[in-house]
Amino acid sequence: MKHNAYKEAGVDIEAGNQLVDRIKPLIKQTHRAGVMGGFGGFGSFFDPKAAGFKDPIFVSGTDGVGTKLKIALDIKIYDTVGIDLVAMCVNDLLVQGAEPLFFLDYFACGALDVDVAEAVIAGIAKGCEMSGCALIGGETAEMPGMYAGDDFDLAGFAVGAVEREDAITGANIEDGDVILGLASNGVHSNGFSLVRKLVENSQGFSYQSPAPYDTSIIFGEALLVPTRLYVQPILKAIQETHALQGMSHITGGGLLENIPRVLPKGLCAEISMDTWDRPSLFTWLQEAGNLSQDDMARTFNCGIGFVVIVRAEDKEQVSSVLEQEGERVFEIGRIVKNEAQNIVLK
C-alpha cells in the first residue's frame, strides 16, 4: 500500500497532527487545580481532592450546538460556536450546584480544514477558561463520505462536582418561592431549525442581510452570539447566599419544558411574560413565524437563559450578588400549589 493511500482516501493524518500542535497552547490556558498529566494521551486524569473537594458527587452532561453550525458555515464565522458547546454542557451542570471541572470535545468533519478546526477549538478553550473548566481531551474525526463539503459537527462532554451535602435537587422548593430569570444573549443554541426555516421563507433576506429589527448589525452575526455562560455568577451566588432552592437551564423545550423539570410534584411555576425585557430578535421571530406565545415559550428562551428559584425573603440578596457579577436579573414568577399543571404562562 502506498504511503499516502489513506490521504488519497480523504484522511490527512498530518493535518490532524498540525492541529494538535496548534491547539496545545490553547488547552494549556484552561488547566486548573486537579488536572494530572499532559494532553495527548489515551485518557486524562483528574484529582477532585486536588481541586478542593472532600466528599464530591460527580455531575456529568453532554450536548452539541445543533443546526446553529449551519449559520456559522454560511457566514464563515467559527470562533463562537465552541463557546456555545461549552455553555450548553456546563450550564446544565450548574443546575445541580456543580462546579465544572473538566471538558472533552468531539469535532467531526468530512475533510479537516486546520484553520477552521483551530478557530472552533479556540472557542471551546475560551469557553472552558471563562468557566474555570479544564479542556483535558478530545477527538478530531475526519470521515470523508459522512459529511458533505465543509460541514462539521460538534459534541461536548463535561464533568463537574458538588460536595454531597450541597447538591441542589429542587426537592426543597416550596409554595411561595420566587422565580428569578437571568437574561440570555439571544437564541443561545436551541430552536435554530425553526430560525433557519423562517430565514429561508423570507424572500430577499439572508444571514448576510442587516437584521430586520436593527439595520446596524448583520443578522447572521446576531444569531451567532454565543450562549451565555452562567458559571461564575451562579457559583458565587451559591457560595455567598446558600439560598438557591432550584435552577433550570433554558435549552431545548424553552421555558415551558425546562422549568417544570426541577419542581416537586404538586407545584406549579406561574410565569409572567411581561416581567422582563424581551429582545427584539424574539419579537421578529414570533411575527415572521406567526407563532403563539406557547409556541415561542416551548421553542425559545425568549430572553431568559437561566432560572433560579429562591425563598421570597432571599430574592434581594441573591439578585444583588448576581447583578454584581454582571447578570441582568428579573423576577419573572412564583411557585404555587397546582396538582393539574406544572407551569402557567400569564
Q: pLDDT (tens digit, 9 = 90+) per residue, 211-232?
A: 988 889 999 999 999 999 999 9
Residues 159 and 69 in one domain: yes
CATH of the domain at 58: 3.30.1330.10
Residue 336 β-bridge partners? 268
- Are 138 and 106 in contact by the 8 Å Cβ rule? The answer is yes
Residues 160 and 61 in one domain: yes
Residues 113 and 65 in one domain: yes
- Model confidence at 40, pLDDT cuts 50, 70, 90, reads low
Q: What is the mean pLDDT of residues 62-77?
A: 94
The whole-angstrom separation of Cα 32 and Cα 175 is: 40
Q: Is residue 46 part of a domain?
A: no
Q: Is residue 171 part of a domain?
A: no
Residues 95 and 34 in one domain: yes
Q: What is the pLDDT of residues 251-290, one digit of tens each?
A: 989 999 999 999 999 999 999 999 998 999 999 999 999 9
CATH of the domain at 233: 3.90.650.10
Residues 142 and 276 in one domain: no
Q: Is residue 173 part of a domain?
A: no
Phi/psi zone of residue 115: left (φ > 0), alpha (ψ -120 to 50 degrees), beta? alpha
Residues in CB range of 177: below 8 A, 6 or more apart: 245, 309, 310, 311, 312, 334, 335
CA-to-CA separations, 291 to 198, 286, 299, 302, in angstroms, rounded: 11, 5, 10, 12
Domain boundary among 141, 166, 191: 166
Strand ranges inside 13-133, DSSP E: 35-36, 45-46, 56-64, 99-109
- Model confidence at 245, pLDDT cuts 50, 70, 90, reads very high
Residues 100 and 213 in one domain: no
Note down the domain range covering 151.
5-40+51-166
Q: What is the pLDDT of residues 105-141, one digit of tens each?
A: 999 999 989 899 999 999 999 999 999 999 998 888 9
Residues 193 and 331 in one domain: yes
Share of the chain above pLDDT 90, in %: 73
Q: What is the mean pLDDT of residues 298-305?
A: 95
Domain boundary among 131, 166, 201: 166
Q: What is the mean pLDDT of residues 180-209?
A: 91
Q: Is residue 240 part of a domain?
A: yes
Domain boundary among 166, 188, 206: 166
Task: Give the chain's largest Cα–Cα span.
Answer: 73
Q: Which residue has the higher pLDDT, 101 or 12?
A: 101
Residues 68 and 137 in one domain: yes
Crossing angle (nearest 10°) for helices 231-241 and 114-131 = 10
Give residue 32's pLDDT.
77
In sign, the C-alpha dihedral spanning 165, 169, 175, 179 is positive
Share of the chain above pLDDT 70, in %: 90
Q: Which residue has the higher pLDDT, 107 or 29?
A: 107
- Model confidence at 1, pLDDT cuts 50, 70, 90, reads very low
- Average pLDDT over all residues of the chain: 90
Global pTM reads 0.91
Give residue 23's pLDDT.
63
Q: Is residue 72 part of a domain?
A: yes
